[in-house]
Amino acid sequence: MASKGIVDAFKELAVIVNTPGLDVPVKNFSDACSRFFVVFKVLKTGMFPRFAEIDYVTKVNDLAEASNLTPTLELMVDRDIEANCVRKVGSHTRNLLRIKRSLEMMRVMCEVLLDTESDHSLRDATFTAYNQVFAPHHGWAIQQAVATGIGSLLPKTLLSGMFNETEETFKIHAQSYVTASASVTNYLDNLFLSKNLGIDW
């Protein structure tokens, strides 16, 4: 099951980031993030999934390539700082920050879909997550393009079936991702802040 593979990968990352003294291998991180590629295949409708796929896949692949030369995320960021290219388009550190936001957006989507007090659709969950995580960093034109594409997303009731899961197993995996990814993104926040880079650029 696709969602179980995603969850297992992020659980492994969570163990690493929660273990004092361990640095996160770039390869482990990029491998875990690449598990989301299958989500874009499942949600292959409309402008938004295509837009997100190109942006996300490109950045994850960049880190996968970087892992051949740089063993850990911290060392990767340090090297960009030394090269004075942290904020340049295409830098590993800039791509890492954008990937972090994607992971946060996925987490917010899961949190909304898990909300038992309401009957949120996948469309509503995606709108909520995008507006919370990415919209503050996007201009009006991109926000409008994303809004148009999100309108074509499938309803919540079809999502679990497309992953060959029951509603119950999907909820279990979604909750596990929420927990594991929070540890990972908190680690990344602390990494950026410890280097005095900030996280709002």
Average pLDDT taken over every residue of the chain: 86
The 10s digit of each residue's pLDDT in 159-194 is 666 566 777 888 899 999 999 999 999 999 999 999
Structurally, what CATH architecture does the domain formed by 2-185 represent?
Orthogonal Bundle (1.10)
- Residues 76, 92: Cα–Cα separation, whole Å: 7
Going 89 to 137 to 65 to 72, the CA torsion angle's sign is positive
- Residues 65, 56: Cα–Cα separation, whole Å: 14
pLDDT band for 43, please (50, 70, 90 cuts): low
Instruction: Provide the residue ranges of all domains of the chain, joining segments of one domain with +.
Output: 2-185
Contacts of 94 (CB under 8 A, 6+ apart): 86, 87, 88
Return the axis-axis angle of helices 47-66 and 140-150, rounded to nearest 10°: 110
The 10s digit of each residue's pLDDT in 109-154 is 889 888 865 566 777 888 888 888 888 787 787 788 777 777 666 6
